[in-house]
Amino acid sequence: MLSNTSKLYFPKLVFEKAVTISNQNAASTEIKPLNLYALDWTRKTNKCSNGCEELPEDYEYLLHSLRFSISDGYLKEIRRCAWSAVAEWNSIRLLDSSMKSVYLLSAASYIETAFKLLTDSLYDDETKYFYRKDDKKIIPYILLYKFWKNQTNNSLILSFTKTSELITMTLNHKLSDSDNEQINKFLNFIEKDLGEKNG
């Protein structure tokens, strides 16, 4: 009776274990129990790229190694955003297809929100606390690129991955050299990757 004619393939959140996070800013050590998850991209990769890796090895390794300590509230909102994106993506619109970058923006925004909430939940197993490493700024964009690759056309990938935000970031003189280097490396990869697809 109901069907999603246009599929969107999300990574699966795989429960690993419960973890406790101490509140490092509080005077007393407050323990906060959370569930730890990994992302499994297998279904998306199999459906969209015949099981082939979609990103360079170092980015694939990074995404595979990420762990997320997600509260119940965050988990509900991430799932709500994902379902809202599917509903928006599958809405029947009697509009010119050249306007896709406009009318699919609502779906893309829900997906962006879901991945930014995931990134905010990143967990660092070394410190047993939330992830604070230098590459945290770039991670939501890598997640978005991985999600959209082979699910939509190149111009929409550029728009939905928010590459313009990354370019703006590189103009910020307050960024560290490490941040700038990582952002430029990722932007160069995107340019090469999408250029090869067009070639």
> pLDDT tens digits for 160-192?
999 999 999 888 778 888 888 999 999 999 999
Q: How far is CA 22 from CA 127, 151, 153, in A?
A: 10, 39, 43
- The pLDDT value recorded for residue 189 is 96
Q: Which domain range does residue 33 map to?
A: 12-91+99-198
* In-domain check, residue 130: yes
Report how far residue 67's alpha carbon sits from residue 54's, in angstroms, rounded to the nearest whole number: 20
* In-domain check, residue 129: yes
- The pLDDT value recorded for residue 84 is 96
* In-domain check, residue 4: no
Query: What does pLDDT average to over the chain?
Result: 89
* In-domain check, residue 76: yes
The total domain count for the chain is 1
> pLDDT tens digits for 43-55?
999 999 888 999 9
* In-domain check, residue 40: yes
> Which residues on adjacent β-strands are paired with residue 130?
123
Q: What residue type is 90 in one-letter code?
A: N
- Residue 131's pLDDT band (boundaries 50, 70, 90)? very high
- Residue 1's pLDDT band (boundaries 50, 70, 90)? very low
Report how far residue 42's alpha carbon sits from residue 16's, in angstroms, rounded to the nearest whole number: 17
> pLDDT tens digits for 60-94?
999 999 999 999 999 999 999 999 999 999 988 88
* In-domain check, residue 3: no
* In-domain check, residue 6: no
The average pLDDT across 89-108 equals: 88
- The pLDDT value recorded for residue 171 is 87
E-only strand ranges, the chain: 12-22, 31-40, 67-70, 122-124, 129-130
Let me know: does 142 contact 98? Beta carbons within 8 Å: no
Tell whether the model's pLDDT for residue 116 goes beyond 50. yes
- The pLDDT value recorded for residue 58 is 96
* In-domain check, residue 164: yes
φ/ψ of residue 81, rounded to 5: -65, -40
